[in-house]
Amino acid sequence: MQTCFDLVWLAAERTPDHLAIVDDQSDRQLTYSQLIDEIEAVAVGLQQRGVKPGDRIATVLPSLFDHVIVLLALQRLIAVPALINFRLKPEEIAQLIELGELTGAVILANENMAAVLKEALPEGAPLLSVGGAAGPAENYAQCRGDRSSLGTAPIPDREDEAFIFYTSGTTGLPKGVVLAQKTVEHRILWISTQAGYRYGTHNVSLGFMPLSHAIGYFGVLLLTLAHNGTYHVMSAFNPVAANDAVENLGVNYLFAVPQLLFAMTKAPNYDPAKMKSLELVLHGGAEISGDLLDQIGAEWPCQIRHIYGTTETMNSLYHPNPVGHPLRLRPGFYSRIRIIEVGGTPDQIVGVGQEGELIIDANVDTIFSSYLNRPDATAEALRDGWYYSGDVCLKHENGDVDLIGRVDDMIRSGGENIHPSEVEPTLESHPAIKEVSLIGIPDPKWGEMVVACLTAVDSDWVVEAAELDTFMKESTVADFKRPKAYVFMNALPRNAANKILRRELREIAVNTQAGDGDWDFVTV
Ligand code: 01A
Ligand code: MG
């Protein structure tokens, strides 16, 4: 079993002088041997600040050069990075720190963030900020020391915690997905069998996906470094810069949610001729539009693969030739799947032509161990040796499936999961609002667009959508979860048991957006 650090260290033994990582914000670029030096220098700094094997340390950072180094330095110490989406608000992050018993954090230089997290962390816990000191946070640049004091890398057990990634929960707060050390190498190896990624220094990838999610971390960063490629940091996603980077850096590999590829093809500098170095492009994490797939299929000179995965399982389904079949998937090399009756047991398998919930074999090395300090949620997702994905698939005769929806109310916007329960209580706390139901409707840019359907306390009380948008911006809910449109209604549709009919609401919202029906569709 190799740890993340081992995988990079082994690559450095093979090609010490090959270029490993290049920053986009400074002139920093490191060969593999320099990368190991840098990781170990920072690891000493962390160790001197009390970081020990098994400590869970939050990183709340965009996909920066320093984020890469600190993640690998934590792994050098067998400490456990808890990678928190930097788009969350400080209050939400503070709750994750307390719930997850995290004992340190590395953040961007932001005094308010530092002050809130300082309160949430235990007394004396390391709090470092990238980009300078910030309030109670120490300047990350000072966190380094003499490598000779580090000693050899500790050897963890297979089941020891390696990482915490976060995914949207159904009870308001994101769930921490605990990944054991045994998952790490298997979370990248499948990319060779499923997508034809080849080992070697010819690999050049663009780090434009968030490192705080499984695709950006395993599917781009670690994959590239473990296979002796060159990883180009893109500190903030920018489609114009991405098009130029592919052209000028000779990028041959991308793995992204479709929204990034969509943005690239819509950018003013897009030109298919810029894409000629691409060899392999993987898309996953959200539904891709047939139009986008047709376009890149025709205009990009590379292999395209559809990858289905989750933070909990990594890859489970794929399609080797998705153009023309945006929903189509087939079981992957690494994992057994079943499509079962919704609400059913693993042996209640649906027939060909029928829909059911996708469940995934949990007896593989890539699977998560639990949701951090959430035994209730773990017991719900992991049952009888299967992981219940919550995704609805339609089964075809040849064993392929079409991915067609969710069993629950989860919304997927721009590759982020957003659950209504994360947003509805806040909107309902507005004094003019009586009830809110949050839904997702199809959208060419975001995949699904978050829409709030609502009723007012007093039908004469007019609330402007812009006012609600400001109200949400000022709340503790992350900006990307905010509704992009509001539909004000007299009443929300309910069934006989008084349950809101979200499917019906989605239809109403789609029609309303098209200008049909009784209500206004107000975008903000
Ligand atoms: O009004 P404003 O100014 O607040 O609007 C801002 C943002 O709030 C808004 N925004 C969003 C989203 C979003 N996802 N949904 C809705 N709104 N993200 C940002 O857009 C305005 C501009 O803000 P920004 O920060 O400049 O936005 P960008 O940098 O352009 O970000 C958009 C991105 C699409 C790049 C960003 O959302 C992103 O990075 N998404 C990718 C998330 C991701 O990595 N998903 C993969 C999860 S791993 C689990 C999985 O599915 C899987 C799959 C396969 C796991 C394993 C495998 Cl094998
Ligand atoms: Mg209210």
pLDDT tens per residue across span 262-284: 999 999 999 999 999 999 999 99
Check residue 141 and report its DSSP letter: G
How far does residue 445's CA lie from ligand 1's centre (Å)? 11
The answer to whether 331 and 386 are in contact (CB under 8 A) is no
CB 482 within 8 A of CB 450: yes
How many CB atoms are closer than 10 A to CB 33? 15
Query: What architecture is the 1-17+28-189 domain classified under in CATH?
Result: 3-Layer(aba) Sandwich (3.40)
Residues 6+ apart with CB under 8 A from 401: 317, 328, 329, 330, 337, 339, 358, 393, 394, 395
**Residue that wins the pLDDT comparison between 76 and 520:** 76
SS3 363: coil
Domain boundaries, the chain: 1-17+28-189, 336-407, 411-523
Closest Cα to atom 28 of ligand 1: 237
Q: What is the average pLDDT across 227-250?
A: 98
For ligand 1, atom 7: residue with the closest CA? 480
The predicted pLDDT at position 461 comes to 75
Whether the predicted pLDDT of 226 surpasses 90: yes
- Atom 43 of ligand 1, residue of closest alpha carbon: 415
Is residue 171's pLDDT more than 90?
Answer: no
pLDDT at 50: 97
Q: Indicate the pairing of strand 433-443 with strand 447-456.
A: antiparallel
Using alpha carbons, list the distances in angstroms from residue 516 to 255, 489, 502, 507: 38, 14, 18, 11
pLDDT at 460 (0 to 100): 78
Share of the chain above pLDDT 90, in %: 94
pLDDT at 318: 97
Helices (H), 250-374: 258-266, 290-299
The average pLDDT across 472-480 equals 96
Spatial neighbors of 448 by CB under 8 A, at least 6 apart, are 286, 287, 411, 412, 413, 440, 441, 442
Answer whether residue 462 shows pLDDT above 80.
no
Q: Which of 482, 487, 412, 488 is nearest to 443 (CA)?
A: 412
Examine the pLDDT at 172 and tell me if it is beyond 80.
Answer: no
Closest atom, ligand 1, to C-alpha of 190: 58
Q: Which atom, in ligand 1's list, is nearest to the CA of 237?
A: 29
Where does 300-436 have alpha helices with state H? Answer: 375-381, 424-428
Task: Identify the band that residue 468 occupies on the pLDDT scale cut at 50, 70 and 90.
Answer: very high
Burial class (CB in 10 A: 0-12, 13-18, 19+), 275: buried
Substitution candidate for ligand 1 out of 416, 470, 473 with most atoms within 8 A of CB: 416
Nearest protein CA to atom 8 of ligand 1, as residue: 480
* CATH 1.10.3720.10 given to domain 336-407: no
Q: What is the Å distance from ligand 2's center to 462 Cα?
A: 14
pLDDT tens digits, one per residue of 190-199: 999 999 999 9
User: Is 44 strand, coil or helix?
Assistant: helix
If you average pLDDT over residues 110-130, what whole number do you get? 98
Which residue's alpha carbon is nearest to atom 3 within ligand 1? 479
- Structure confidence by residue, pLDDT tens digits, 320-350: 999 999 999 999 988 899 999 999 999 999 9
| 414-423 per-position pLDDT tens digit | 999 999 999 9
Residue with tokens 């040796």: 385
Predicted confidence at residue 333, as pLDDT, reads 85
**Model pLDDT, residue 262:** 97
CB atoms within 10 A of CB 493: 16
206 three-state secondary structure? strand
Over 90: is that where the pLDDT of 130 sits? yes
The residues that bridge with 447 in the sheet, in sequence order, are: 413, 443
Looking up tokens 């020391």, which residue turns up?
A: 145
Residue 361 C-alpha to ligand 2 middle, in angstroms? Answer: 43
What's the rounded mean pLDDT across residues 434-451? 95
Locate 112 and state its tokens: 């308010």
Q: Which CATH code is given to the segment(s) 411-523?
A: 3.30.300.30
* pTM of model > 0.85: yes
pLDDT of residue 54: 97
Arithmetic mean of pLDDT over the chain:
96
- For the record, the structure tokens of 12 come out as 């450095």
Pairwise CA distance, residues 395 & 402, whole Å? 7
